[in-house]
Amino acid sequence: MTVIGHAEGSATHSVTIDGVAYPAEEIAQGAAYEVYATQPAPGFLPNPRPGAKWPYRRFVHATEVTSALDGLEDEPLLMPVTRALDWATVHRLSQTPAAAGALAPIRRTAVVRRGTRMIKFLSGRQLHGYLKGWPISGFCYRAFDVAHLRTPEDLAILTGEHNTADVVFAVRWRAVDAHDYDVPLAGAYAGLVTMPPHDRLGPPVIGTGFAPSGKHIVPEFVTADLAELPLPANTSLVAYTRDGTEVTLYTYLPEQRAWSRMHGPQWRHLLPDQSDQEYFPIEPGLTRYVGTYRDNLFEAIVDPPGEFRVAAKTRAARYPLDSLARRVPRATWREARCTVIRQEGDWLRLRLSRPDGDQVARLGAHCVERGLYEAWAPATEVSDAHESDSWYTI
């Protein structure tokens, strides 16, 4: 990669693809490049910018640009150098359940740290749910690993939508701690791997820790125990359009417990209900961040990687916390471990922590999205109901 100068709105780098040099710009905090061309070529899309100097563009991951690996925010996947193990072989193994053990050294190099940018892709219905207060949960990815997947067609491998839509939505946030995430391997999450097709939604869970894909190698994660994560500060809801444009729709304001609109009226058509609402207040969830300040317990606001404070609307009362935890309501129902995600009267909405075909049939649980199985239970039948605090090191 060669730097070729900088000007506002112009390319700042040159990258080589299949022996051809193209002008390019860094995107996604340097995790990918937007590459430009004057003529159509494989993988290139029309450039949507009015009066663009280059009429075509495509997106490539930074790992495809050899000299771009220094200074990246996250580490790429690393694999041992052998004569028998090339990229095509690793991809084939990533789609083979029995190969989980052989891939483990490679999979462990996809690391989540405090402050790692994470992303979960959403349908229009799920976007509406997040605006109404849904917490983060289920399958997700490091934003670094999917930075080059920018169009609904490319993202179909992660959304499970075979008929690609005009837009794909996502929620993006920074991780508070690696312990909030699991790798969906065939051991701990064997029930998801063996789940009958009629009992699941979305792509199957392979069990290697990688997403099912015909050509990409994408490490996937799940929230630990499939439980909910409260929204950190500056979480955003974004949209990816058919031409690869990324639009920030809303940003989460934790002090106000609300989503604030960031997009202009030209993007209103992207929203499922074409809503032009400026502000979406949400109710607090059962799972929440708590922390101590001078031996007193308070509700907490987290803004990874380094800001953890008492939840308060006035700046003077936003004291830095001495300790921080994620408080999760848990319970057992008919010998199945669950987290409690909602309570209505004498009924509890439970989510299975380790779902399998037997539990789903026995409890009458329904798959609400890939990997997440929920059921209503009478509170009188639930045992061991308690709030569990997972303490972080801050």
Cβ pair 329, 287 in contact under 8 A? yes
Helix (H, G, I), strand (E, B) or coil at 125: helix
Contacts of 101 (CB under 8 A, 6+ apart): none
Q: What is the CA radius of gyration of the chain?
A: 22
* The token pair that represents 267 in the structure block: 């993007």
Cβ pair 171, 138 in contact under 8 A? no
Cβ pair 291, 327 in contact under 8 A? no
pLDDT of residue 10: 55
Query: What tens-digit pLDDT sequence spans the chain (394 residues)?
Result: 333 333 334 567 888 887 888 999 999 988 999 999 999 888 888 888 888 889 999 999 988 875 555 667 788 888 887 777 888 899 999 999 999 999 999 999 999 999 999 999 999 999 999 999 999 999 999 999 999 999 898 898 888 765 567 899 999 999 999 999 999 999 999 999 999 999 999 999 999 999 998 889 999 999 999 999 999 999 999 999 988 899 999 999 999 999 999 999 999 999 987 677 899 999 999 999 999 999 999 999 999 999 999 998 887 888 999 999 999 999 999 999 999 999 999 999 999 999 999 999 999 999 999 999 999 999 999 999 999 999 999 8
Cβ pair 131, 205 in contact under 8 A? no
CB atoms within 10 A of CB 328: 22
Question: 């710009």: which residue's tokens?
Answer: 25
Instruction: Encode pLDDT of 132-174 as tens digits.
Output: 999 999 999 999 999 999 989 889 888 876 556 789 999 999 9
pLDDT of residue 7: 35
pLDDT of residue 70: 61
Domain coordinates in residue numbering, the chain: 2-68, 93-281, 288-322, 328-392
Cβ pair 384, 348 in contact under 8 A? no
Nearest in space to 150 (alpha carbons), one of 174, 129, 128, 170:
170
Contacts of 258 (CB under 8 A, 6+ apart): 252, 279, 280, 281, 282
Helix (H, G, I), strand (E, B) or coil at 55: coil
pLDDT of residue 230: 97
* The token pair that represents 163 in the structure block: 């008929």
Residue type (1 letter), 211: A
Q: Euclidean distance between the first and final Cα of the chain, in Å?
A: 38
Cβ pair 138, 341 in contact under 8 A? no
Cβ pair 139, 370 in contact under 8 A? yes
Q: What is the DSSP code (8-state) at residue 5?
A: -
* The token pair that represents 187 in the structure block: 């051991």
Residue 195, CA distances (Å) to 155, 225, 232, 263 in order = 24, 17, 32, 40
